Each structure stands twice: as structure tokens, then as C-alpha cells.
Amino acid sequence: MRKTLIVGNWKMHLNTMQASILLHRLQERIRIHRDIEVVLAPSMLVLQPLSLQIDRRKFRLAAQNAYHKDMGAFTGEVSFTMLRDLVHYAIIGHSERRLIFGETLTDISEKVAAAVRNGITPILCVGETKTDRLAKHTKRVLHDQVVTALKNLTSEDVEEIVIAYEPIWAISTFGGELATPNLVKEAMDYIRHQISELYGKKTAEKVRVLYGGSVDDQIARGYMEIDGCDGVLVGGASTSYHKFSGIVDAAYRMQRELGEET
């Protein structure tokens, strides 16, 4: 069974003090759960102090980005090698990285390879723009993003990775239009189908696929209930104690109900 994953991407919000206070409050509220993993992705600056404060039975840490070279004269960058003892996951190819910082498909595949080489699990973000969708190019865009990002990996590597389907027009930064669960399911099925074509059905069944795009405590469950959806990647709502813990509560409730059914 694939574990449910709830990831909070704090983006460029919360200084060290604010981050520490939010973690402290979440830590009191969130329980240890065998089937649910809660991951926090704070800014690079805050990773180190949070790693000392964090209860590792309740949370895992993720980097929001890193550079693909392991070390060298790359002013201003931090490598996956430097992060390997600090984080379990790294978000790679987020649409803000692609659109604001101009990351290309090649950059992203190099980052995915560097993360895996350093024992860090990539959370690979993929998703189409509104223009792509209107032009009926969604599948082509998802195909290119998935295939190029994974191209340096073996099927054992791919089994471990996480893919977040984040239609760009649904992300709060770029419009925040709500995607219907049907549309999300169709895209997620297509992503898993691509992985199955490339690496086989067994691998595709192990990959966790998340949804991201304006998810908050009110609507998270609707996405988490989609067949084949393994959790959510939360941006804006993840820096709100009430909204983020509400999302984790929704995941607990779903697991409890599932347990009661079986």
C-alpha cells in the first residue's frame, strides 16, 4: 500500500522564528501515523534550525530546490549533496521554478538525477498551463515533463519517486482556478500510464502521485479521495496552522474510515 503524503511548500515565507513557532504548534497537534507522512518544505535558510527541532517520527523535511552539481564554484547555490543529511525529499520542477526562474526540462532532469544520486527522494512537479489545456496539449506536456525528468533513472529509482500533478492555472500564484476531481483523475491516470509504459506496471503502481493547486482544508478531501491520488502538495494553506492541520485531519479521517470498512 502506498503511504499518503501531505507536503507543505512554505515557498519564500516564514523567517526562522516564525517557522519555529509554526512547527512547534503543528508538532503538538499532529500525531504519529503509520500510513500518513507529513512533509514540510521550508526555505533553505530555515532547514537547518528546523532539523534540530523536528520530531522525525511525525515529520520529514523537504528542500524546495537545489543545484544539480555536487560541489564547486557555483556562487549562491546549495547542492543536494549538502542537503543529504538534512532532508528526505526535494521538490523539483515546481512551476514557479520553471516559469519565474526559467528552469528547462534538461535542468529538471539533472536535478532529479542529482537528488537520487544523493539519496534524496524527488517530488517532481508537472502540469500544463491554461494555454496548453485550451489547445488540448495537456497530455503532450505531461508526457514530455515526465519522460525527460526520469530519463536518467532506473526502474528501482523510479519506484521511489513522487510526482505532483499541479496544473499551473490551479496554483494560487498563477490564477488559483479550482480543478475538478474528474480532470485531475484523468491527468493522474495518464501520468501513471506513462510510467507504466516506460518502466512497467509494477513500478507505476509504486510511484506516489499527489495533487497540488490551491488545496486547503475545505477541499483537500475531494482530491485525496480520487482513485490513484496519494496525497496533496499544499502551498498557500501550508503556512496557516489551522488550514494545514485541517488537511492532515482530513487524511486521518479518511484512513480511519478506510480501516473501518476493511
Q: Where do contacts with ligand PGA occur on this chain (CB under 6 A)?
A: 9, 166, 171-172, 212-215, 233-237
Nearer to ligand PGA, 109 or 239 (CB): 239
Of 58 and 94, nearer to ligand PGA (C-beta) is 94
- The residue whose Cβ lies closest to ligand PGA is 235
**188 near 226, Cβ under 8 Å?**
yes
The active-site residue, picked from 37, 68, 94, 128, is: 94
Tell the burial category of 62 from Cβ atoms under 10 Å away from its Cβ (0-12, 13-18, 19+). buried
CB of 173 to ligand PGA, least distance (A): 6
How is residue 121 written as a grid cell? 527522494
For residue 20, which amino acid is it? S
Residue (19 or 199) nearer to ligand PGA, CB = 19
Amino acid at 245: S
Collapsed DSSP state (helix, strand, coil) of residue 173: helix
Cβ neighbours of residue 235 under 8 Å, at least 6 residues apart? Answer: 9, 11, 171, 172, 173, 212, 214, 215
The yes-or-no answer on residue 28 being catalytic is no
Point out the catalytic residue in the list 37, 96, 110, 166.
166
Q: In terms of CB distance, is 203 or 238 closer to ligand PGA? A: 238
Catalytic residue check, 94: yes
How far apart (Å, rounded) are the C-alpha atoms in residues 41 and 101?
Answer: 19
Catalytic residue numbers read 94, 166
